[in-house]
Amino acid sequence: MALDIRLEAKMTQSLVMTPRLQQAIKLLQYNHLEMVEHVQEAMLENPTLEAVPDSEGRTESDGEARLREKSEAQQNDLNEQHNGEAEGGIDWEKFLDHMAQSKSALPSTSGGTIHDDLPPIETNLTYGESLSDHLMWQLHLAKCNEDEEVAAAAIIGNLDDRGYLEVSLDEIVAETGLDPEMVSDALELVQSFDPIGCGARDLSECLILQARVHFPEDDTFERILADHLGNLERRNYQAISRELDLELEDVVEYHKMIQDLEPHPGRAYSGGEPRYITPDIYVKKFDSEWRVVLNEDGMPDLRISRYYQKVMKSASKEDKEYLLDKLRGAEFLIKSINKRRKTIRRVMESILKFQRDFFEHGVSGLRPMVLQDVADDIGVHMSTVSRVTTNKYVHTPHGIYELKFFFTAGVRQQTGGDMSGEAIKARIGALIGDEDPKNPLSDQALADQLDKEGIRVARRTVAKYREALGILSSSKRKTLF
């Protein structure tokens, strides 16, 4: 078989993602805070971009003020160098050198101050202490020999975010090469540290460790925690009462005391910070008419600097190429931002049209909808709608929701129409909220009640929605007193 090399002409079609097309797609995906940050960075990197002063009544941000002051200072320096000559007589090479030297200083505070020599603010920030750090600090203060400290450090290193020991003591023995008795003593040491309950192997042991500290003379409490957590979970108080020879009221009181214990002692050191959401869109009602208002807080209107347009006239060929590239980039960014605003507004107005009952009445008015519905309505590709609705939030009279929230599957009803799954969840939550705590509604009872209201849902679907709401089953919701 002979192998030869030859040239062939063949026509193919392919999508070429230019850098600017990629930039436009990224802008569409940014939420409000990310967009504000991107614009500020673009203004620092591209000298031909500037903010329209007091555009739409917005006040100048700190970053814009620093950029404007820096630009004015540079212009003053240039005027002094040229003894007040007109802009057409500027030495462009000196100006570029001046820009290059000062470019790195743009993010810092403009002008010299007494704070210039201080370290960056990042070096003064403090961070929450981790569970491992907190326990190791106590270990260093504890009185123990070197081997016990090694074993305790290995145990601390194998705790999860809850504070539970993820591995067996045999694995700690294999890891450290120490005597099993030494490792067991080290575990007792770690379990004596604050927060109490760390180092436990399971929930029962975690609660027992806390009960020994808070109720040291109550052996019954420990027996309930060791042998009857399952009965407590099912609220089977009668079984505990019979086996431990206790009054039913005492068992219920023990259950209330257990609820004051911490099942996840490492929770306070997990590092989970609250998430603050800045809505990208506001939907408000003005004179019985719903309107979509984009959040423009901190977002300046951009324009191309007239100064650099004048500089182009007298710049050299090389400088013109540099400025032309920057000017084209600035023009494309401004057009992309405006197109982004229009697309987001059109998508939200389409959602408002489809989900008007939600804005009028709340979650119960939510109707089934898919991305393709909005895409067909405004004449764009479904991927565009997906990018617009991802990681963006809208402020409504009923709360702040991610745009993805409005796209839900439907459940076929007896009347022939569809009902949103979120609306069914809201109704299930309302029914459970109004139930008798001593006689809670079972999943089948909830399904029957919904059926009476014309909402046909299977019992297993009710159970799935109830669990999604974080609501326990009827046997675990039942209270006796």
- Note the pLDDT of residue 354: 92
More confident residue, 79 or 447: 447
pLDDT above 50: residue 123: no
The Cα angle at residue 468 between residues 463 and 471, in degrees rounded to 5 = 70
**CA separation for the pair 465, 83 (Å, rounded):** 77
**CA separation for the pair 198, 208 (Å, rounded):** 11
Which domains can be identified in the chain, with CATH numbers?
Answer: 131-269 (no CATH), 281-406 (no CATH), 410-477 (1.10.10.60)
The β-bridge partners of 363 are: none
Block residue for tokens 């969840």: 425
Quote the mean pLDDT of the chain.
80
Q: How far is CA 264 from CA 101, 136, 207, 210, 297, in A?
A: 54, 19, 9, 11, 40
- Note the pLDDT of residue 150: 92
Confidence of residue 135 (pLDDT cuts 50, 70, 90): very high
State pLDDT tens for residues 428-469.
888 888 888 888 888 898 988 888 888 888 888 888 888 888
**Residue 412 phi/psi, 5° resolution?**
-65, 135
